[in-house]
Amino acid sequence: MNLQSIERLQNLLGRIQQNVKLPRTRTGGLGAFIVTPTSAAPALTLAQPAAPVVLPEPENVLLEQTKVSAAIAAKSAPEEEIQVDVEVPSLEALDAGDDGAALENAALENAALENAIEDVDLEDIAVEVVSAVTTEAPSEPALERQVAVMPFSVPPALDELTFSEPPPAPEPPAAVVEPRPIPVAQVVSEAPGSIDAALLAATEAHAAAAEPADAERAEAVPAESYRGPAFTPPPESGPQLTVPPMAAPAVPADYRGPAPTIEQLGELIELEQTLGPPLELAQPASEPVPALAKPPEELEFVPRASVPSRPLEAREPMQTLVGGFTEEEVVTGDATGPETPPPPARVFLRPAEVPAAVDVVAQQLESRQSTPTSVTTTDESAFGEESPTASSELAPELVARPPVALARPVVDVISAARAYRPASFLELLDASVGLLKK
């Protein structure tokens, strides 16, 4: 390691120490990105100059920008960024330029870099060197290649949702946004042939960079995990809120959650207790059910010898004439209540109490017995079980009409005269000729 390299490394170390004190900044566009190095994956820091890049002449040696990110783990400061810009000549530049001088310079530069890294190898500083030296020679001019690099402005690595909120306040220096890792080969190696091709390539590159975001966007965001503002996204413009299907939640069998509230169950009405003694159904005492001495299979049917009948109607003979009767003459029935009207009584005349007028009628009826009209004495049973004696002198008689002697049939059907309908002209002619014929 020569003195020049040592000097450069010292300058580099000084710059690093100065940068440690500076606040962390994040710039877009062509600005440099200061990325917090992580141990999981090497972070890439694009150290782009703020001023426009002036490309060297084609005949000159093309040096690719080598990005070295050094993370200094200081005790006081947890994470520090070290930005090291080292220009390393590419192979194509070596091929295109002076072979001997270029190779020698390149070897010297590499050796200086290695020495610098070795010298800077401190215990408290962790340096990660990311070499992005391209091995392929650029087929296109450097100007176009620069255009291809320009669109790499890392989009805000926030959520995929676009918010219409005002720009956030300047973040504290500690808040460092971790950019999305971009493949180096894609960034550097592609060199479009024209401006249109460069624009197309830039568009494709941007789209390729946005593909993971789209893939994530395509995934549905659960409603419970969504914390963004409530708004209606345009159709197919972003992640959609997925509402789980309305289905009854599966309740485990041994669920011992809180009991339902009154509002959930509704109003509960308690029934009043019954008043009075409990209802008892007692068997009638008049007809007690006899205990079966024998099993039902051995029982015999024995008809009842005497059925206890209700008291029959008793018609007592009338003591007085028609028009008056005592309570004894009233037929006693089942009506026992005082308010129940008594049934009508049947009154019979006794022979001794028949008035004289009735005797006259009886004599007239007897005189008619000689007439052809048959007079028959009615049966006594027609008047009831307790009719007067059969030997009564005056008994009702039924006068029946004598049977009609049917000498001739009752119905005499006079048939209509049969209409004369001759079947032929000759028949009608003969009938007409026969009129007034003797």
Partner 1 sequence: MSESTFDPAQALKIDLSRGQLSLMGSSGRVLVPTESLAELLAASTNEAISAFGAGIGTDIGRRILERLGSAIERATIELYLEHLGGELALSGLGSLSVERWGKALVLCLEGLGDSAGLESMVMSLIEAAIQRSLSRDVVVLRLAKTDGLLRLIVSGRHAKFQIEQWQAAGLSYGQILTNLHQNPLVEASSTRGES
Tokens of 52: 């426009």
Site for partner 1 in 371-430 (CB under 8 A): 420, 422-426, 428-430
Other beta carbons within 10 angstroms of residue 318's beta carbon come to 19
Shortest reach from residue 434's CB to partner 1, in Å? 7
Smallest separation, CB 431 to partner 1 (Å): 4
The residues, ordered by sequence, that sit 6+ positions from 253 with a Cβ below 8 Å of its Cβ are none
Q: Find the shortest distance in angstroms from Cβ 407 to partner 1.
A: 25
Min dist CB 414 to partner 1, Å, is: 16
| Cα Rg of the chain, angstroms | 68
Of 122 and 431, the one with the shorter C-beta distance to partner 1 is 431
CB-wise, 253 or 426, nearer to partner 1? Answer: 426
> With respect to partner 1, which residue has the nearer C-beta, 271 or 416?
416
Collapse the DSSP code of 209 into the 3-class scheme (helix H, G, I; strand E, B; otherwise coil) and give the result: helix
**Closest separation in Å from C-beta 421 to partner 1:** 9
CA distance 117 to 115: 5
Residue with Cβ nearer partner 1 (264 or 432): 432
DSSP state of 150: T
Strands (E), 346-436: 374-377, 397-400
For residue 165, which of 228, 95, 74 has the smallest C-alpha distance? Answer: 228
**411 or 417: CB nearest partner 1:** 417
Q: Please identify, using beta-carbon distances, which residue of 107 and 429 lies nearer to partner 1.
A: 429
Residues in a beta bridge with 125: 72
- The reply to whether 436 sits near partner 1 by the rule CB under 8 A is yes
- Residues contacting 152, CB < 8 A, separation 6+: 46, 182, 187, 205
Nearer to partner 1 by C-beta: 111 or 428?
428
Cα separation, 207 vs 210, whole angstroms: 5
Mapped onto helix, strand or coil, the DSSP state of residue 399 is strand
- Residue 389 DSSP code: P
Q: Is 71 exposed, middle or buried (0-12, 13-18, 19+ CB in 10 A)?
A: buried
Nearer to partner 1, 3 or 436 (CB): 436
Strands 221-222 and 374-377: unpaired
Among 21, 227, 256, 437, the residue binding partner 1 under the rule CB under 8 A is 437
State which residue, 259 or 433, has the beta carbon closest to partner 1.
Answer: 433
* CA–CA dist 401, 419 (Å, integer): 44
Report the nearest approach of partner 1 to the CB of residue 409 (Å): 22
CB-count exposure of residue 177 (10 Å: 0-12, 13-18, 19+) = middle
H helix intervals, 40-141: 91-96, 99-120
Distance CA 257, CA 279 (A): 43
Tokens read off for 116 = 């610098």
CB of 436 to partner 1, least distance (A): 4
Instruction: Name which of residues 278 to 337 contact partner 1 (CB under 8 A).
Output: none
Question: Residue 412 Cβ, how far from partner 1 at the closest point, in Å?
Answer: 19
Using CB under 8 A as the binding rule, whether residue 258 contacts partner 1 is answered as: no
The interface with partner 1 within residues 122-161 (CB under 8 A) comprises none
Q: Both tokens of residue 155?
A: 């989009």
To the nearest 10°, the Cα dihedral for 228, 234, 237, 241? 50
Q: Does 435 bind partner 1 (CB under 8 A)?
A: yes
Compute the least distance from the CB of residue 415 to partner 1, in Å: 13
What the block records as the tokens of 130 is 């990311």
> Closest CB to partner 1 among 407 and 417?
417
Closest contact distance (angstroms) between CB of 427 and partner 1 is 9
Q: Is 204 in the site for partner 1 (CB under 8 A)?
A: no
- Return the number of the residue (231 or 425) whose C-beta is nearest partner 1: 425
Interaction of residue 434 with partner 1, rule CB under 8 A: yes
Q: Which three-class secondary structure state does DSSP give residue 66?
A: strand
- Tell me if 433 contacts partner 1 by CB under 8 A: yes
Among all chains, which residue has been given the structure tokens 């019979």?
A: 348
- The closest of 88, 83, 81 to 114, measured between CA atoms, is 88
Q: How far is the CB of 408 from partner 1 (least distance, A)?
A: 22
Give the count of residues interacting with partner 1 (CB under 8 A).
17
Residue 243 touches partner 1, criterion: CB under 8 A: no
Would you tell me which residues interact with partner 1 (CB under 8 A)? 420, 422-426, 428-438
